[in-house]
């Protein structure tokens, strides 16, 4: 397994529309393992293949829930997480609720920037898992939000595209300022 470089905005490769996976191969399984390692290292909860330079319809998600309840006194360094890795190949949303939810989203390709995004609160999705088995499930909460966010990547869309032009420009300016500060 390897940690892959994550492409950051405004790189044009993030606007690529990913192609469906026709035949699942061992190379795809290696890519998936590398994507999980990259996501955990970043750290993040979701990653689309296009974010690591592979324009195929593959994404990984792991919401990584704390093993024990987290309190104000919990030391962030000692919190243990239960991993629940999920692989989505050729995902599609086949139904979305009219009810919306707002979540403060961030993105590994737009590092350290967050903004509220409205998305359907519940979705029903169909996808192929890592074993090549077609799955279908209804999702809500953070999982539904994360799946929609990562699926946007497969279509060349970033979470900042859901913002007003003013807010999007502000996020991009902050990103560029942070990038310059890091380079200095």
Q: Residues 45, 10: contact at Cβ < 8 Å? A: no
**Among 140, 60, 154, which Cα is nearest to 103's?**
140
139-152 burial, b at 16+ Cβ within 10 Å, e below that, comes to beeebbbbbbbbbb
Query: Which one from 22, 138, 150, 176 is the annotated catalytic residue?
Result: 150
Active site residue 77: no
Please report, to the nearest 10 degrees, the dihedral formed by the alpha carbons of residues 70, 74, 80, 82 taken in order. 10
Q: Residues 144, 127: contact at Cβ < 8 Å? A: no
Cite the active site residues.
Answer: 150
């Amino acid at each position: 397994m390897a940690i892959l470089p994550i492409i950051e905005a405004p790189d044009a490769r993030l606007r690529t529309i990913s192609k469906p996976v026709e035949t699942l191969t061992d190379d795809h399984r290696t890519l998936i393992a590398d994507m999980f390692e990259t996501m955990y290292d970043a750290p993040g909860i979701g990653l689309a293949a296009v974010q690591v330079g592979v324009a195929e319809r593959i994404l990984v998600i792991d919401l990584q829930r704390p093993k024990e309840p987290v309190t104000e006194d919990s030391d962030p360094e000692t919190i243990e997480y239960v991993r629940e890795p999920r692989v989505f190949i050729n995902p599609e949303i086949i139904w979305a609720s009219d009810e919306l939810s707002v979540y403060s989203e961030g993105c590994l390709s737009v590092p350290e920037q967050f903004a509220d995004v409205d998305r359907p609160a519940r979705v029903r999705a169909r996808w192929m898992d890592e074993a090549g088995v077609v799955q279908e499930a209804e999702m809500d909460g953070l999982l539904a939000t994360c799946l929609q966010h990562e699926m946007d990547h497969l279509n060349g869309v970033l979470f900042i595209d859901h913002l007003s032009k003013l807010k999007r420009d502000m996020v991009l300016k902050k990103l560029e300022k942070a990038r310059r500060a890091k380079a200095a």
